[in-house]
Amino acid sequence: MTQFRLPDVRVVLDTQVILRGAVAANKSLTAKIYEVWIDSRFELLFSEATLNEIERVLQRPEVLRKLQFTATEGRALVLFIRRRGQLVEPVVRIQVSRDPDDDKFLECAVAGQATCFVTADHDLLSLRNIEGIPIMDIPTFWTTLSARLREAPAPE
The phi and psi torsions of 43 (rounded to 5 degrees) equal -95, 125
Q: Write the pLDDT tens digit of every residue in 44-70.
A: 999 999 999 999 999 999 999 999 999
Fold of 10-150: Rossmann fold (3.40.50)
Whole-model pTM over 0.85:
yes
Contact at 8 Å (CB) between 15 and 22?
no
Q: Write the pLDDT tens digit of every residue in 66-103.
A: 999 999 999 999 999 999 999 999 999 999 999 999 99
